[in-house]
Amino acid sequence: MKAYVFPGQGAQFTGMGKDLYEKSSLAKELFENANSILGFRITDLMFEGTDEDLKQTRVTQPAVFLHSTILATVLGNSFKPDMVAGHSLGEISALVANKTLTFEDGLVLVSKRAIAMQKACEKTPSTMAAILGLDDAIVEDICASVNEIVVAANYNSPGQVVISGSNEGIDKAIEILKDRGAKRALKLTVGGAFHSPLMEPARLELEKAIKNTIFRIPVCPVYQNVNAMPSNDPEVIKLNLASQLTSPVQWTQTILNMISGGAKSFVEVGPGCVLSGLIKKIYKDAVTESAEI
């Protein structure tokens, strides 16, 4: 069985998607449609923009989504997923890939999600940090001991957890985690505390948008971030997608569950190959590849 996985924020790079636009008339049509839906030429920022341009949440999220979903579409008949999953934002790309959402509805949701998250970031100064070399339980205990909002946000692979919270909370946690033997405790250049309770205002906005969007029965199951479990039920998918913004991304368990569910190979669809690297760390014998046209 073939699993397709879709990256999230952080996978972007200048020039992303330009080769797709130039090689495929279908891709060009979809990119131009996206420019119209968003109300600005995101293609200009993707193809020619600076790193700073692409770091804006309102740009980053639609850009990564477009690269992933348009690539999957252009693959045509060779794109036949038995199961899908996406890391954070990538979950919406996965839901377009398995036909739960239309391309247009997915893009509108991504745009609303990005704007809602940006507003939540501006409301409370906050950040995230990558912690390497400690057991998940130790990271969780230390986060819980800090008298600030700070939580485990991304379980990326064994020994690699991203924490999320207020600026003070992250600073305090980093200090303790280093003392406890973390190999690295590095602040990330992100807009705010994604996948933490500080995203509650964004979750409420996204929930409203999700309720007003049609979710169809998918052609294959999606393994969702909040519980790492497969689902074919549109109502369950909706609930889990809304909860995602304030819940941790269970990526390690997702990959293990996909393997238990029969995945023999993983194809990463979108910019970069970050997920392929994580999958190899989760299961060293995993077969991974990047989608190409």
Residues 179, 205: one domain? Answer: no
Q: Is 213:241 a contact under the CB 8 Å cutoff?
A: no
Same domain, 82 and 222: yes
Which residues touch 126 (CB under 8 Å, ≥6 apart)?
A: 149, 164, 165, 166, 167, 170, 192, 193, 196, 198
Distance (Å, rounded) from C-alpha 148 to C-alpha 165? Answer: 8
Residues 204 and 280 both lie in one domain: yes
User: Which string of b and e fits 200-239 if b means at least 16 CB within 10 Å?
Assistant: ebbbebbbebbeebebeebebbbbbbbbbbbbeebeebbb
CB 150 within 8 A of CB 164: yes
Give yes or no: residues 16 and 51 share one domain.
yes
Single residue among 145, 166, 187 that ends a domain in this structure: 187
Residue 94 in any domain: the answer is yes
Within-domain flag for 7: yes
The answer to whether residues 50 and 159 belong to one domain is no
Quickly state the pLDDT bin for 293 (edges 50, 70, 90). Answer: confident
Give the total number of structural domains in the chain: 2
Q: Which two tokens stand for residue 111?
A: 């745009």
Q: What is the mean pLDDT of the chain?
A: 96
Residue 266 has pLDDT above 90, yes or no: yes
> Same domain, yes or no, for 175 and 154?
yes
pLDDT at 270 over 90: yes
Catalytic residues: 88, 195
pLDDT single digits (tens) 174-218: 999 999 999 999 999 888 999 999 999 999 999 999 999 999 999
Distance of CA 43 to the CA centre of its chain: 20
User: Mean per-residue pLDDT for 242-248?
Assistant: 97
Amino acid at 224: Q
> What is the pTM (predicted TM-score) of this model?
0.96
pLDDT, tens digit, 9 for 90 and up, residues 20-32? 999 999 999 999 9
Residue 56 carries which DSSP code? S
Residue 129's beta-bridge partner residues?
Answer: 163, 187
Task: Assess whether 141 and 247 both reside in one domain.
Answer: no
Do 63 and 175 sit in the same domain of this protein?
no
CB 151 within 8 A of CB 131: no
Q: What is the pLDDT of residues 31-43, one digit of tens each?
A: 999 999 999 999 9
Integer-rounded Cα Rg, in Å, for the chain is: 18
Whether the CB-CB separation of 264 and 289 falls below 8 Å is answered with: no
Domain assignment present for residue 192? The answer is no
Q: Judge if 10 and 34 occupy the same domain.
A: yes
Residue type, 46: M
Distances (CA, A) of 51 to 58, 61, 87, 224, 255: 14, 14, 21, 29, 30
Kindly state whether residues 225 and 170 are assigned to the same domain. no
Range of the domain at 281: 2-122+197-290
| CATH code: domain of residue 204 | 3.40.366.10
In this structure, is residue 102 part of a structural domain?
yes
243 and 165 housed in the same domain: no
CATH number for the domain that contains residue 168: 3.30.70.250
Question: Is it the case that residue 60 has pLDDT exceeding 90?
Answer: yes
